[in-house]
Structure 1
Amino acid sequence: MSVLRCEVKSMKLMTPQVYRVELTPSAPVVFYAGQYLQVVMGENDKRPFSIASMPADQNRLELHIGVAEDNPYSTEVVELMQTEGEIKVEAPLGSAHYRAASERAMVLVAGGTGFSYVWSILQHHLSSTDPRHVVLYWGARQLNDLYLHEQLEQMQRMHENFSYRPVLESPPAEWEHSRGLVHHAVLGDFANLEALDIYVAGRFEMVRVVRDEFIQRGLPENQLYGDALSFI
């Protein structure tokens, strides 16, 4: 892990509540897909965000940051970036990264901006020569919360070993995909989880439910990956 200064290269709203932030670190960052960084707000105030970019690009760090009036934790980070134009980060961190040596099929489960964690893993996997199949389940409340929905549909058409399964709690009337909670869609598709590697990210409450229900369904605990699991 290193402590680095990062220039805020760009900040773009992908939805009214989600920023895509591009950082240029003061030195190359060597990391695994699925790791995270911490924005240093103060000596005892460090806030984690998944690195959404690919490990191949060591001179660029991408973050997806959700903001809301009732969420100062993230909003204050965005305000600091906008005001200062640079931030200090600790990177890389986390042990729930992509397991390239595994031969098991992969399932990626994301809620909201937890997508940034699986986005790095997905891009890295599909850019490799690894033929393992990967299924992405991305759950959100409404369609416009799936801020890369069309790009993922296009990627699914391009890659035979990739399946995209969007899940909405409040879908439009014409919605043809899964409805409800994202982990229920996974359990509906897989009668047996024992042969899978599952990567999960989202709110702690969601990750806790995923852990408990997936292990009850037969998933070995050491085949479930997510840094939130260390805190719940």
Structure 2
Amino acid sequence: MSEIKCKVASITPLTDVVYKVELTPTTPATFKAGQYAMAVMGEKDMRPFSIANAAFDNSRIELHIGAEPGNNYAGEVLARMREEGEITLSIGHGDAFLQNNGLPMVLIAGGTGFSYTYSILQEHLNSGDKTPLTLYWGGKHASDLYLADELTALAQAHSHFTFVPVVEFANDDWTGRTGWVHHAAMADHADFTNVQVYVAGRFEMSKVVRDDFTQRGLKQENLFGDAFAFI
């Protein structure tokens, strides 16, 4: 891990409560796709955020920060970035980074947990490796899936990538999958024995994925997510 001072290039809304933060580090950042950064707010106050860009694209750092009203944990970080125009990050945290072991990959993201899977996806597509990868991204509403159009275009351009958006509370215009995001993956996979699974979202979701998928053959060594260091 290393600390890098970063200039704030831009902060733009992705939804009413999610912001895309573009940072320019003073030197290229060293990390693996799927690792996270810690925003240094004080000597003993470091706050984790997944890095959304791929590891090969390391002249910048992209974060997707959810800061709904009352979420001071994230809101204070955004406020400092806006006020000071810079932030110090500790880079290269987490062991749930992309593993190139040849097994088909299933990525499961809830909400802004998508940023974790987005880094892995971009790294994989850039590598030239044609191992199949399926991304399931779940949100309460269709508007929560803020890069759905871009992901659909990527899936059309790369035959080994499949994007499955899942909405919990769908309106009448929604024609895609509905319900819980991990149920959509289970509907498509009766057996996870020879699959890698990467998951990011609320701890409760990660635990359910672990419990349900291991019952369908998922091996512990093929399950990746930062939550599993805590649950």
| TM-score, normalised via structure 2 length | 0.98
Greater alpha carbon shift after TM alignment, 156-165 vs 168-177? 168-177
Tell me the CA shift for residue 56 of structure 1.
Answer: 1.3
In structure 2, C-alpha distance between the alignment counterparts of 1:200 and 1:215, rounded to whole Å: 14
Tell me the CA shift for residue 228 of structure 1.
Answer: 1.1
The answer for the alignment partner of 2:118 in structure 1 is: 119
The answer for the alignment partner of 1:77 in structure 2 is: 77
1:184-212 C-alpha deviation (Å, 9 max, x unpaired): 11111100011100000001111111111
The answer for the alignment partner of 2:209 in structure 1 is: 210
Tell me the CA shift for residue 162 of structure 1.
Answer: 0.6
Query: Given residue 15 of structure 2, which amino acid in structure 1 is its aligned partner?
Result: T
1:105-160 C-alpha deviation (Å, 9 max, x unpaired): 00000000000000010011111111101000000000110000111111111110
The answer for the alignment partner of 1:98 in structure 2 is: 98
Tell me the CA shift for residue 70 of structure 1.
Answer: 2.4
Greater alpha carbon shift after TM alignment, 37-46 vs 171-180? 171-180
Which ranges of structure 2 fall in alignment gaps of 5 or more residues?
Answer: none
In structure 2, C-alpha distance between the alignment counterparts of 1:59 and 1:155, rounded to whole Å: 22
- Listed as ranges, the matches of 1:52-67 within 5 Å are 52-67=52-67
The answer for the alignment partner of 2:222 in structure 1 is: 223
The answer for the alignment partner of 2:2 in structure 1 is: 2
Which ranges of structure 1 fall in alignment gaps of 5 or more residues?
Answer: none
The answer for the alignment partner of 1:176 in structure 2 is: 175
Q: CA RMSD in A?
A: 0.9
- Listed as ranges, the matches of 1:133-172 within 5 Å are 133-172=132-171
The answer for the alignment partner of 1:193 in structure 2 is: 192
Query: Given residue 206 of structure 2, which amino acid in structure 1 is its aligned partner?
Result: V
What SS does the aligned partner of 1:97 have? coil
| TM-score, normalised via structure 1 length | 0.97
Please state if 1:89 is matched with 2:109: no
In structure 1, C-alpha distance between the alignment counterparts of 2:56 and 2:72, rounded to whole Å: 32
The answer for the alignment partner of 2:31 in structure 1 is: 31
Question: Paired residues, what number?
Answer: 231
In structure 2, C-alpha distance between the alignment counterparts of 1:182 and 1:58, rounded to whole Å: 30
